Structure 1
Amino acid sequence: MRTIPIPYHTGTADLHIDEASLEAVIVAQTHGYDPGQTETDIIRSALQNPVGTPPLHELAQGKKNVVLVTSDHTRSVPSRLTLPILLEEIRRGSPDAQITILVATGLHRPTTEEEQRRMFGDRIVDRERIVVNNAFQPEDYVNLGTLPSGAEFCVHHLAVECDLLVTEGFIEPHFFAGFSGGRKSILPGICSKETVNENHSFRAVASPFAASGVLEKNPIHEDMLAAARRVNVQFIFNVALNGEKKVIAAFAGDLEQAHAAGVAFVRSLAQCPRAQGDIVITSNGGYPLDQNLYQSVKAVATAETCCREDGIIIMCCGCADGMGGDNFARIMTMGPPAEVEAYLSAIPPKESIPEQWNAQVYVRVLKNHRVILVSDFLPAEQIRAAGMIPARTPDEALALARAEKGGDARVVVIPDGVAVVIV
């Protein structure tokens, strides 16, 4: 019997499984990667050796109004480490610059002060100007025309009014944007709900190129990149993380060149060969990405690529923050998957509903696979209403799956389904 810890909420949940039934355990090499440096050394080294731009302190010289875009409470960006150093670099070049930290929420709920203190530290919350993006306040946005897809581009006015725009984030595989990081800080990070909705339309998400690890010809990526170029992001700082959310690499400099370098690094460690199973067990890598059911589809989409037709996916997701959004919850509980998909496919891009995209991917999966959700926080009746089977532990879920698929079912385990790209 083998014990496999599955990331879950702020810890792990153990899966106990007979070795003989294991087809594969798929783990990204990022999880065991040893950079040979401290996190702070990695961060400072990247800033001292930017890709495609002068150092940040040189770019900051003479700048009066600086906006630094950072990620919200749903992301693992180690801002406690990175923000103080980025602020130090900006002030090294322009000691008197007015700096605004703009929290990129996309369509997520606003980041609370308590969450900001956990993410950034008390010193930054008490001393710096922090603005939390709210995509539902139209007065905060300016229209900069259209993007390659034809979508209207409305972005937070602070990004347009500043004379130096800097972003920070982290790079990992993304189930329809290819990879996170870089341009994603702008779109969806600080765009209006209309722009985000259209970028995430049914048509865009249904593209065969809107997939994990794919950037070329990806319509979602193309609009995101065009948006970041339009507002003149002059400097990015992105990190790569291991399974413990520790920095193992950092990439600074030009919007495209630095992001490409980071993507190449992450891809080299994240790509894993495909294995097929009758049962596939995964997670979202634990907190903060497993806060709600809405986010859980990211790992489910990875599991889908390894699950045989009519197989069962077991998703371990704490869901401490519930379903994750009223629209998502409504769509997920409105009927059988095929009916929901038909409803979503009829929505024109410019009329896209917030959160429909994660529901779109979920119903695509649910048309072909049963999904068992392991959650301590989400009530069983809500799980069933969303078309899934509730379980409290990975072992309970595996027993339920075996009862349906038989004792000889082959099992694939992907402990962190967000960290891998299946090829």
Structure 2
Amino acid sequence: MSEISVELPWGAWYRDELHRLQLPGHWEVDVLAPAGGQACTPQDIQAAITAPIDSPPLAELAAGKTSACIVIDDMSRPTRTAMILPPLLNQLRQASIADSAVSIVMATGSHGNVPAEDIAKKVGPEIAATYRVECHDCRGDLAPTGIAYGDRELRVNRTFYEAELKLGISSILPHSFAGFSGGAKLVLPGLTDVQATARSHKFVQLGLRGGADPDRNKFRSEAEQLARTLGMEFIVCVVSNQQRDPSHVFAGDIVAAHRAACHAAPGVFSTELRRDYDCLILNAYPKDNDLIQAENVFIALKTAKSPTVGDDGVIVVTTAASEGVGQHGLFEPGGLSYRPPQPKRFLKNRELWLYAPTVTTQNARALYWEGYPVFQRPEELTAALNQRFPQPTRCGVFPCAPMQQVSDARGAVMGVAV
């Protein structure tokens, strides 16, 4: 029987290759790629940093200060930080802040430790060898801030807290809690203790906060207020295309630069949808480093006006899961917000299948309900799809679902549904 070959981007930060899946030959397959955007040049990045939005120039902010901390996002974000750091470091050097007085902190939140070799991938080997680079530990030696957060005192990363100049580099992606990721989220929950992370997520999970509009999202406004109180003065926000190259870069005030990036993001992430499908393949790239992060594929579905797959259809989540199940102080087994997996109510009667070659079925059951089939071998997935859909079938493929926002037939981009 003939087959249709589909190539999926695969293994962000680890392989960044194309992974081939064979689909039944009698299917109609649409690869629903996002609009994308042209990659920025080094000159574009330099121009954004030297012409900040609603902020004094970085050199002016750095004047008279003797230490600096640059906060970056972790491996679960596509930001090619190594392209952004050099012009920032040059400006700090010109402001007479010594290289030895500059620290780079990876804001992992509760995602767990990142090995040194992976940090080097993010910042570049030369910077990793020259500067002090550390990974935030949400259960480590954290600084008390004197700021009340709920019924506790907020504690944050000590290196960040003690630096005289605080700035950040973050990725802008659709986010189910914060509307868009990045910005002040680098601080809360990126640099806080695990209890603060749990509190910040609690109200969204209860349906009391969140929403697609970052200007009305209380989860985000709380993070921004705290980041300002803690002294974060400057940020670089990056909108990446499907190749993970920076397509738009905005620098300056931690709110103004973030909103400018949020405004530009739909032009890169917009994905035109012209019809409904019997089967939908949601690929987790560029958040395919682990199975926990792969849950972000559903953001693509939640941006649609109406279901994109039929009531009795099948949704296939595909992920490299290069780090296996992954770590998350809230949502991993034993985490503060972990719940045993259940059927996903928003899918209603639709079947959910998981294709994760690096994860055993037993390990996948920590996150995926036992009624959802798990496949490790591509030929087994192909055979199961052939058996499930022996008739002509319409299939849509989202190659990088966590960064895709569905636009309807009229072209109006919908916000993330929470």
Q: What TM-score bracket applies, with the shorter chain setting the length? A: 0.7 to 0.9
* Structure 1 equivalent of residue 95 of structure 2: 93
Q: Which runs of 5+ in 1 are unaligned?
A: 332-352
* Structure 1 equivalent of residue 267 of structure 2: 268
Letter in 2 for 1:25: V
* Structure 2 equivalent of residue 279 of structure 1: 279
Q: From 382, 391, 408, give the equivalent of 2:375.
A: 391
* Structure 1 equivalent of residue 396 of structure 2: 412
Letter in 2 for 1:300: F
Cα distance between partner residues in 1 of 2:348 and 2:365: 15
Contact 1:236 1:252 in 2 (8 A): yes
Report SS of the residue matched to 1:13. Answer: strand
Sort the Cα spacing of 1:138 and 1:64 in 2 relative to 1 into closer, same or farther, 3 A: closer
Contact 2:358 2:376 in 1 (8 A): no
Cα distance between partner residues in 2 of 1:254 and 1:44: 16
Sort the Cα spacing of 1:17 and 1:214 in 2 relative to 1 into closer, same or farther, 3 A: farther
Residues 110-135 of structure 1 show CA distances to partners (whole Å, capped at 9, x for unaligned) of 12211122222332222212232110
Sort the Cα spacing of 1:214 and 1:44 in 2 relative to 1 into closer, same or farther, 3 A: same
Sort the Cα spacing of 1:362 and 1:68 in 2 relative to 1 into closer, same or farther, 3 A: farther
Cα distance between partner residues in 2 of 1:219 and 1:367: 29
Alignment of 1:373 onto 2:354: yes
Q: Which runs of 5+ in 2 are unaligned?
A: 407-413
Report SS of the residue matched to 2:280. Answer: strand
Alignment of 1:71 onto 2:73: yes
Residues 288-333 of structure 1 show CA distances to partners (whole Å, capped at 9, x for unaligned) of x2121100100134246533334321111112212113874537xx
Report SS of the residue matched to 1:356. Answer: coil
Cα distance between partner residues in 2 of 1:372 and 1:88: 48
* Structure 1 equivalent of residue 251 of structure 2: 252
TM-score (structure 1 length as normaliser): 0.82
Mapping of residues 136-175 of structure 1, within 5 Å: 136-137=139-140, 139-146=142-149, 153-175=154-176
Alignment RMSD, CA only? 3.0
Q: Identity of counterpart residues, as a percentage?
A: 23
Cα distance between partner residues in 2 of 1:144 and 1:368: 46
Sort the Cα spacing of 1:114 and 1:78 in 2 relative to 1 into closer, same or farther, 3 A: same
Shift of 1:21: 4.4
* Structure 2 equivalent of residue 13 of structure 1: 19
Sort the Cα spacing of 1:67 and 1:361 in 2 relative to 1 into closer, same or farther, 3 A: farther
Mapping of residues 45-194 of structure 1, within 5 Å: 45-96=47-98, 98-137=101-140, 139-146=142-149, 153-194=154-195
Cα distance between partner residues in 2 of 1:267 and 1:20: 34
Report SS of the residue matched to 2:87. Answer: helix
Letter in 1 for 2:294: S
* Structure 2 equivalent of residue 403 of structure 1: 387
Letter in 2 for 1:34: Q
* Structure 2 equivalent of residue 335 of structure 1: none
Contact 2:24 2:382 in 1 (8 A): no
Question: Structure 1 stretch 123-132 or stretch 53-62: which is displaced more?
Answer: 123-132
Question: Structure 1 stretch 240-249 or stretch 389-398: which is displaced more?
Answer: 389-398
Quick check: which one's helix share is greater? 1
* Structure 1 equivalent of residue 241 of structure 2: 242
Cα distance between partner residues in 1 of 2:234 and 2:185: 13
Cα distance between partner residues in 2 of 1:189 and 1:28: 28
Cα distance between partner residues in 2 of 1:233 and 1:295: 27
Contact 2:281 2:396 in 1 (8 A): yes
* Structure 2 equivalent of residue 349 of structure 1: none
Cα distance between partner residues in 2 of 1:384 and 1:371: 13
Contact 2:165 2:233 in 1 (8 A): yes
* Structure 2 equivalent of residue 34 of structure 1: 38
Residues 14-47 of structure 1 show CA distances to partners (whole Å, capped at 9, x for unaligned) of 24457984475322112xx225x52x11211111
Question: Structure 1 stretch 235-244 or stretch 271-280: which is displaced more?
Answer: 271-280
Contact 1:70 1:101 in 2 (8 A): yes
Shift of 1:78: 1.4
Cα distance between partner residues in 2 of 1:394 and 1:208: 41
Cα distance between partner residues in 2 of 1:309 and 1:377: 30
Residues 351-406 of structure 1 show CA distances to partners (whole Å, capped at 9, x for unaligned) of xx44539x889844566533211122101333356323122356643552453455
Cα distance between partner residues in 1 of 2:61 and 2:331: 42
* Structure 1 equivalent of residue 410 of structure 2: none
Sort the Cα spacing of 1:405 and 1:227 in 2 relative to 1 into closer, same or farther, 3 A: farther
Question: Structure 1 stretch 186-195 or stretch 117-126: which is displaced more?
Answer: 117-126
Letter in 1 for 2:188: L
Contact 2:341 2:365 in 1 (8 A): no
Residues 215-259 of structure 1 show CA distances to partners (whole Å, capped at 9, x for unaligned) of 243332232222222223210012221221112221110111111
Sort the Cα spacing of 1:235 and 1:313 in 2 relative to 1 into closer, same or farther, 3 A: same
Report SS of the residue matched to 1:330. Answer: coil
Shift of 1:52: 0.8
Cα distance between partner residues in 2 of 1:129 and 1:145: 30
Sort the Cα spacing of 1:420 and 1:44 in 2 relative to 1 into closer, same or farther, 3 A: same
